[in-house]
Structure 1
Amino acid sequence: MTILHFTVPPLPEYIISGTTTANIGAKHPNRRNIGVFDLLVVRQGCLYVSENELGYDIEAGSFLILRPDAHHYPTQGCTEDTIYYWLHFQSSGLWSLDEHCTVPKKEELPELQPFTSNYFTIRVPQFSNLPQPQKVYDLLDSLAALVQNGHRIQSLWRQQLLFQELIEQLAAARNTSVSSPSSSCAEQAATYLREHFREEFKAQTLGENINFHPVYIARCMQKEFGCSPVEYLLRYRIEQAKVLLLQTDQSVSRIAEEVGFNHAAYFTSCFTKQEGISPRKYRQQFS
């Protein structure tokens, strides 16, 4: 497994991201030395890309980080409709591949400084499966929503925070070669909840649809996501509400209804508890 090493500080910096739907026959762009890292995360289908003559088949639930100093080009066209995220980022600090990582030694740091930073290395696989795809999709969807208001200071700050969470998820792939049973169950549950987030939650219905006992599902989601199915659903509904608050002029009560809340007051309470700010103030700070 090829590992990218990033010396921190400074942290890698998010630039821009988006989602692409590639039809059958579509290909990734042919580019050389673009100067930034290009993260590709496939959600559906398969993307065929080469970097310096090394080919990669990026299947659903996997990712590839293309280097800023390399030539990357399509190996072939998509053989099925493919949906993938792309994200550009940069690192103004040192970075390298595998054993060639150079972390500043103490004697190499500037002299006559009373304090110096604690340097460390973030190790991220260049190509791997995602341990928890749904978490990564959630982060990338949230970034896409914030890009709509990217000129606002609050939005820029939030983008960098979400990107650091994303890097943490990618780095975790280094220690996970095979999806565990609990991870698989949690991912299936999360996918179902996202697809049916506007509907009333029933643990029994969830269990019947993914063929696991509700108690086992709750245990798996607690282990993998740090929350129960109900808590996951609530968080996801709030994230969807944030998108609507930023991208539409709908009233708070209408948005509450759109994301699955029966009462606007309860929605406002949940939103404020999770975000530390009311829906109206959240919208105002980005307007």
Structure 2
Amino acid sequence: MNVLQFKAPPLPHYITSGFVSDFPAGSKHVGRQNVGVFDLLVVTKGCLYLREEDRSYEVGEGCTLILRPDQAHYPTRPCTETTQHYWLHFQTTGEWSVSDALLPSGGPVSEEEQSSPAWSLEARPFHLQLPQFSRLQKPDSAHSLLARLVALNVSAHLDGARWKQEALFQELLQQLAAEAPGTGPSPGVICARQAAAYLREHYREDVTVQAMGGSLNFHPIYIARCMQAEYGCSPVEYLLRYRMEQAKLLLLQTDYPVTRIAEEVGFNQAAYFTARFTKYEGLSPRRYRQRFAHT
């Protein structure tokens, strides 16, 4: 199975779409090469017979196929019955690639992702994975989204309509990605995410790994192993970094003294908070605030 992997941000963006309601028996989908956009086909009746590179596809009712912008595609045989299908063109200005298998959802993060992790104030990169060919588990839902997209074409000259189309397209992509088989998180990823949620919820408190383990019903050593694989750090380091980012937000958004900020983010002693913040950020809390002070 070919899988299209899009690195975001930016997300893929919608261009245009349509619906072919009467594609009679004996007709063939047009052959094209290097069209420069992705072409999503969703068949609602009948079947389209296509080939791209060394792969042939029978895109029957309830199936989807995404044709790549950098490859030639052509029909392998005419339709044997009247066929109806939606088509949708989209593109991305970001990086994308093709793999022969789905990556596990929430697998080990790369060095680049670790440098911009979940606690960072910067956007965290992620991947959107779409099977190039798939059979929809919820075809009616996808068809409804596509019908609404096509209906908005008559007012696509208006910014409001284009905005709605983009929102519908992102919802469609999310559905296609969620319906792909084998994309569910592994037990280890589930454990790491639950631990991260626990730490985020209790970061103002005196958190211990024993209390977290008891709350999540996982052994602390297993939790640490899972978080290292998922986030590239231990639970203690994750908690410290999250506290530091919350402290940075308070330094930017409030005039609270450093002693109160230390308490707000779970430190009992302001001096210890200042020392850890200085080591983490490279400057003291006061100097960090002064960088953004209006003079």
TM-score interval (norm. to shorter): 0.5 to 0.7
Counterpart Cα distance in 2 of 1:44 and 1:72: 21
Counterpart Cα distance in 2 of 1:63 and 1:6: 18
Alignment CA distance shift 1:104-1:31 (3 Å): farther
Match of residue 55 from structure 2 = 54
Q: 1:4 corresponds to which letter in structure 2?
A: L
* Count of aligned positions: 174
Deviation of the 1:28 alpha carbon = 0.7
* Cα shift readout 1:12-71 (whole Å, capped 9, x = no counterpart): 000000011210111111100100000000000000011013210000000000000000
Which residue of 100, 119, 123 corresponds with 1:117? 123
* Cα shift readout 1:199-246 (whole Å, capped 9, x = no counterpart): xxxxxxxxxxxxxxxxxxxxxxxxxxxxxxxxxxxxxxxxxxxxxxxx
| Displacement over 6 Å in runs of 4+ | 107-110
TM-score, structure 1 as length reference: 0.56
- Which SS does the other structure have where 1:49 is aligned? strand
Contact 1:10 1:93 in 2 (8 A): yes
* Cα shift readout 1:144-193 (whole Å, capped 9, x = no counterpart): 1111100101101000000001101111231279xxxxxxxxxxxxxxxx
Contact 2:113 2:124 in 1 (8 A): no
Counterpart Cα distance in 2 of 1:155 and 1:72: 31
Contact 2:14 2:166 in 1 (8 A): yes
Match of residue 236 from structure 2 = none
Which residue of 142, 146, 166 corresponds with 1:160? 166
Q: 1:19 corresponds to which letter in structure 2?
A: F
Counterpart Cα distance in 1 of 2:139 and 2:160: 27
Match of residue 10 from structure 2 = 10
Structure 2: gaps (5+ residues): 103-108, 184-295
Match of residue 135 from structure 2 = 129
Contact 1:131 1:176 in 2 (8 A): no
Alignment CA distance shift 1:100-1:58 (3 Å): closer
Contact 2:26 2:80 in 1 (8 A): yes
Match of residue 86 from structure 1 = 87
Counterpart Cα distance in 2 of 1:97 and 1:108: 23
- Which SS does the other structure have where 1:32 is aligned? coil
Contact 2:17 2:87 in 1 (8 A): yes
- Asked if residue 140 in structure 1 is aligned to residue 146 in structure 2, the reply is yes
Equivalences for residues 101-116 of structure 1 within 5 A: 105-106=111-112, 115-116=121-122
Deviation of the 1:109 alpha carbon = 8.2
Counterpart Cα distance in 2 of 1:118 and 1:99: 25
Percent identity over the alignment is 46
Structure 1: gaps (5+ residues): 178-287
Q: 1:40 corresponds to which letter in structure 2?
A: L
RMSD of aligned residue pairs (Cα, Å): 2.6
Deviation of the 1:100 alpha carbon = 9.9
Counterpart Cα distance in 1 of 2:61 and 2:182: 16
* Cα shift readout 1:236-265 (whole Å, capped 9, x = no counterpart): xxxxxxxxxxxxxxxxxxxxxxxxxxxxxx
